[in-house]
Amino acid sequence: MAKRIKAYFIFVVALLLTLAAAYFFRDDPPPFSLRAGEKTILLEIADTEDKRIRGLSGRTSLPFETGLLFVYDQPGEHGIWMKEMAFPLDIFWLDEAYMVVDLEEAVAPETFPFVFLPEKPALYVLEMNAGSADIFDIKIGDRFDPKGKR
């Protein structure tokens, strides 16, 4: 009986250590969000070249009040296209202070291969469901409030 309890204890400790290691050494970034007025937008992060190239391509939808934030190393005229997209998007280009420097609304998948470029350099690009600019009342010059910033 004592051997069984000892084996169970070792198993539980090993399981807890494995779960803790998986949590602390995971590849996914911590949750990240932006505030737009009184609303919180939960974000997925595209901070590698592969993730930025893939973007939202191949997905059938994006949950309401969520977005994909493209993070670049330097401000620039970062282009966005609708390759392999299945739904329209609102696209927001943000500067280092999370201020909207340009936006495109209701960009349809059929616009591919056209590349949308901002009027001003941006460090971030935020993609959300079409209509989000109206729902969240987001305009050029508005500033997002970052939460959980890495």
27 DSSP assignment = S
Q: Cα–Cα distance between 108 and 87 in angstroms, integer?
A: 7
Q: Which two tokens stand for residue 81?
A: 């296209």
What is the pTM assigned to this prediction?
A: 0.77
Q: What is the pLDDT along the chain (150 residues), one digit of tens a residue?
A: 677 777 676 766 665 666 555 544 444 444 578 888 788 899 999 999 999 999 999 999 999 999 999 999 999 999 999 999 999 999 999 999 999 999 999 999 999 999 999 999 999 999 999 999 999 999 999 999 886 443
Inside any domain, residue 65: yes
Q: Cα–Cα distance between 95 and 120 in angstroms, integer?
A: 9
Q: Cα–Cα distance between 43 and 70 in angstroms, integer?
A: 10
Inside any domain, residue 14: no
Q: Are 62 and 68 in contact (CB under 8 A)?
A: yes
Inside any domain, residue 34: yes
- Which structural domain, as residue segments, surrounds residue 112? 29-147
CB within 8 A of 21, min separation 6: which ones? none
What is the CATH classification number for the domain harbouring 118?
2.60.120.1140
3-class secondary-structure state, position 144: coil
Inside any domain, residue 1: no
Inside any domain, residue 37: yes
Per the structure, the count of domains in the chain is 1
Q: What is the pLDDT of residue 26?
A: 45
Inside any domain, residue 13: no
Q: What is the pLDDT of residue 150?
A: 38
